[in-house]
Amino acid sequence: MVSTRCKMVVRSELDKLGLHYAKLELGEVEIMENITEEQRNQLKYGLLQYGLELMDSQKSILIERIKNAIIEMVHYADELPKVNFSDYISEKLRYDYTYLANLFSEGTGGTIEHYIIAHKIERVKELLLYDELNLTEISYKLNYSSVAHLSNQFRKVTGLTPTFFKNLKNKKLTPLEDL
């Protein structure tokens, strides 16, 4: 689950099956009772209708937890942590970062670093669209070392400068689920 809408879908599907949960967070649900194989299949089918997947593999679950930690950090935190992202993710998930990085690359075909950059650039686009912060403030908010660094990374990912993007008539954000 990568959005509030996903959480609503999962909550609805659990309610349909009469299942109670102790925890429902991005990418993770803790169901209070034991579920039957039939309930599990119904839940799996119900989620698939909305493009969501019930994960069985511990590796897949951990990869999803890595993604969710990054999404929470970049999109929902008021300020990014001042520590290295590797330290933040390792501490949050309580695993060695090298293990997490290798698992992520193996499971997704990309690196954690590229995933973070993609989300940071989407966040920059979002902040540019809101037009409440200037580029210097955005750079500071997202822990870039300088406006030049942010601009170079933005250009490398989008092919546009932040200023050009801001002045576009048809601005396009990528849904978080598609990053």
- Residue 18 pLDDT > 70: yes
Taking Cα atoms as reference points, which of 123, 103, 125 lies closest to residue 112? 103
pLDDT at 166: 87
Tokens of 80: 């990014």
- List, for residues 30-82, the tens digit of each pLDDT value: 888 888 889 888 988 888 898 888 776 788 889 989 998 999 889 887 777 77
- In whole angstroms, give the CA distance from residue 83 to residue 79: 12
Confidence (pLDDT) at 147:
95
- What band does 170 get if pLDDT is binned at 50, 70 and 90? low
Nearest of 56, 98, 76 to residue 3 by alpha carbon: 76
Higher pLDDT, 130 or 28: 130
Rounded to whole angstroms, the Cα distance separating 36 from 40 reads 6
Give me the domains of the chain, ranges plus CATH numbers. 4-54 (no CATH), 59-178 (1.10.10.60)
Which tens digits make up the pLDDT trace of 103-144?
A: 999 999 999 999 999 999 999 999 998 888 999 999 999 989
- Give the contacts of 25 (CB within 8 A, at least 6 positions apart): 1, 7, 68
